[in-house]
Amino acid sequence: MSLIVMKFGGSSVGTPERMQRVARRILDRQQEGNDIVVVVSAMGDTTDDLIDQSKGLSLNPPSREMDMLLTVGEQISIALLSMTIHHLGGKAMSFTGWQAGMQTDNVFGKAKITDIQPQRITEALGAGNIAVVAGFQGMSPDGEITTLGRGGSDTTAVALAAALQADVCEIYTDVDGVYSTDPRVVKNARKLNEISYDEMLELANLGAAVLHPRAVEYAKHYNVKLVVRSSFTQNEGTSVKEDAVMEQGVVVRGIAFDKNVARISIMGVEDVPGVLANVFGALARNGIDVDMIVQSGVQDGKADFSFTVSGDDRDKAIGVIEGIRAVVPYRETTSEAGLVKVSIVGAGMVSNPGVAATMFSAISDLGVSIKMVSTSEIKVSCVITAEPLNDVVRALHTAYGLDTAEQVFVGGPSERR
């Protein structure tokens, strides 16, 4: 008997018909002789609808109350799915995140899991139940309900799989695996039969929405066998594992993009030790993640540097920079929103010269200017304007030989979390 954790996103359970299909699929896996733990997200657009309702009442609601509100969506899903399983002849028990033993820190809106005490899940399984757990949520040490941020249900599933020592964690979405890029942009994207943790983590961090970065980090750290599959087909999925077999001649494995990037530039800063530490320390203390950083040459003892943040954090970041001007004097700041980051990822890039040059040429041939560049051993990222993004992704996909003759089946709307 195997223990399987199955995670279904919002579109997979978005209607009564889809809920029934998921329930049958779960029962089929149990009838094969497996213990089953299911993690689900809120149905369809429930979370977005709740956020819209809150904005209609308050432009700046307390983060504690937002977490209290947003966890309702998952509670609806787990109760309805458990009822459906019972209706179809199975046994199921639903659990909120805190009932499932998900302990987190006290950061509302993007809490991190600190421990899991899954005794109630184990007891439910021992009694022959399918355990249906609400993703995306937990409880802080002082008893507050918390949420894990977008993508949190993936993280819940992988963390539970690690705590329960599950044989496999299956992430069900609207496509049947991990593709070389978003198949909504490139219809003939290439499906990857397997991909390494490191490559998947880079793709996830760079904008690929199929898995959340923290879920991949958990899987890598605890060596959780992770499979991405479609909830709409029975096709084999993509295995995410420590060492993935590289296809012959395929250097770039995937192309990811982030549509929500802003660039901030600080000009005329004194070229003295501690400047960067002061600037980025202040941003970190305010919970602002910085991605790319580029410093220009020094002239007359002054330097300019630019960095990128999420477009949602642009105004907050500018406020932080203005607030430390007495500590870090500068001539002026500028910012630019509406940018995107497009990235290529592949473990084979480190031993293949010319990969970056191919990327720059493909972008240049479209008449697109590159504003910033960042590289590592297995990725190259470029910041460009938003308008030509889809054309750039398609051009890169072709340039690296990733096009296939078949079109990808997408079973439903994009998963929310």
> Which are the contacts of 335, defined by CB distance < 8 A and separation ≥ 6?
262, 263, 264, 265, 314, 318
Annotated binding site for substrate: 47, 74
- pTM here? 0.85
Counting beta carbons within 10 angstroms of the beta carbon of residue 302, is it exposed (0 to 12), middle (13 to 18) or buried (19 or more)?
middle
Q: What is the pLDDT of residue 246?
A: 62
Taking the chain (417 residues) in runs of 10, the rounded mean pLDDT of each run is 93 92 96 97 92 92 95 96 98 97 94 96 97 97 93 94 97 90 91 92 88 92 94 89 70 93 94 91 93 86 93 94 94 94 89 89 96 92 95 96 80 48
Q: Which residues contact 303 (CB under 8 A, 6 or more apart)?
A: 269, 270, 271, 275, 295, 296, 297
DSSP reduced 3-state for 248: coil
State the pLDDT at residue 405.
79
3-state secondary structure of 360: helix
Q: Describe the crossing of helices 46-57 and 63-87 by its angle, rounded to 10 degrees.
A: 150
pLDDT reported for residue 415: 43
Q: Would you state the pLDDT for residue 408?
A: 73
Answer yes or no: are the C-beta atoms of 183 and 189 closer than 8 Å. yes
63 within 8 A of 109, measured Cβ to Cβ: yes
Do 191 and 173 meet the contact criterion of CB atoms below 8 Å apart? no
Task: Detail the residues annotated as belonging to a binding site for ATP.
Answer: 7-10, 173-174, 179, 184
Q: Are the C-beta atoms of residues 387 and 366 closer than 8 Å to each other? A: no
Q: Residue 411's pLDDT is what?
A: 67
Q: Give one DSSP letter per residue of 375-387, joined into a string.
A: EETTEEEEEEEST
Where are any strands of DSSP class E within 168-253? 168-173, 178-179, 191-192, 194-196, 226-230, 238-241
Task: Residue 397: name the closest of 199, 244, 204, 183 by CA.
Answer: 183
Single-letter residue type at 105: D
Residue positions forming the annotated binding site: 7-10, 47, 74, 173-174, 179, 184
Look up residue 348 and give its DSSP letter.
G
